Every structure is written in structure tokens, then in C-alpha cells.
Structure 1
Amino acid sequence: MMHVVIQQLCKKYGSKQVLNGINLTLGTGMFGLLGPNGAGKSTLMQILATVIPKTSGDVQIGHCKGGMNVKFVACLATCHKSLAYIAS
């Protein structure tokens, strides 16, 4: 059973804050993100899929906790079938 836990996740591009203190816990199942353009949906998914680094906060996917480091990415490879990011 894989859970996703996000705590105080933030992302900045220069001085522009695009994600600010996101807290989210997801259990098993299928979920979608809904929101207006510019709300940070793609940014959040790119962080979860390790496409871009977070500025601060904690991300845990299954038993893997971390960010854009080699250990976290290698850990995610063990559960790659459960997480996907499809670019628009």
C-alpha cells in the first residue's frame, strides 16, 4: 500500500512563490488535481515525479522520503508503476 505525504511544500522561481506550505496526505486509489490555470498543479506533479526540485518542505512517497537526490530517485524506481507524470 503506497501513501503520498506532503508537508509544508514550497516552490519558488526566483522571488515568485508558486507553492506555499502545501500539506496533503493521499492513501491508495486514483486521484486527480483540479484547479485554475496557474494554481500550481503541474509544478506539484513535477516535484513529486522529481522532474524539478522543491524549494523546501518534505515529500514522502511510499517508504521513500526526500527530494531530488539520487537515493530518493532510486527508491522511487521501486514503485514507478504507481506514480506517473504526463507533460501537457
Structure 2
Amino acid sequence: MPVLLVDGADALAVHDATVKALELARSGAGPVLIDAVLPGPTAWPARDPLVVCEQRLRATGTVDDGFFAEVADTADTLADRLRARLTVGA
């Protein structure tokens, strides 16, 4: 069985490997194992998957500061809604 080794902290690399595995499976090549290797706990701050993804997206010019500001605003709104629900019964 083919194995695709990928940096598990790189969401875009995992996506690319998944697309490749799907293409191979659909072409009749059979199953493919994706081995998404994650960094050890001490390396985590430097290899945070969200930070790696943001860096890759910025490097490709796929998105800009406005996109990330919108994502942050959406996350803040959702967090506020969740906090409100959690404190209702407190």
C-alpha cells in the first residue's frame, strides 16, 4: 500500500496529500495511507498548525490581512456566544 508522508502541522500539505490519495483511489490504484507526522510537544509553539497554515496562505497570496481580520472577528463572535451560553446556567 502506498504511503504519503506529510507534515501534520501543515494543513495545506495534509489537504494536498488527501487530494492525491483520493485521485489514486479513484483511478483504481487502491487505498493510500496518509502518515501525517506531528512535531513533538516541545516544538509545538513553532509548528502550530494554524500559524503554519496562515503563513502558507499569506506566502501564496491566497488571502490578505482583511481575510484574517474577518476570521478573527468571526471567532470572537462565536466565542462570545459560547461564553454567554455557558454562563446562563452558572
Q: Which has the larger radius of gyration?
A: 2
- Name whichever structure is richer in strand by fraction: 1
**Interval of TM-score (by shorter of Structure 1 and Structure 2):** under 0.3
TM-score (norm 1): 0.27
TM-score (norm 2): 0.26
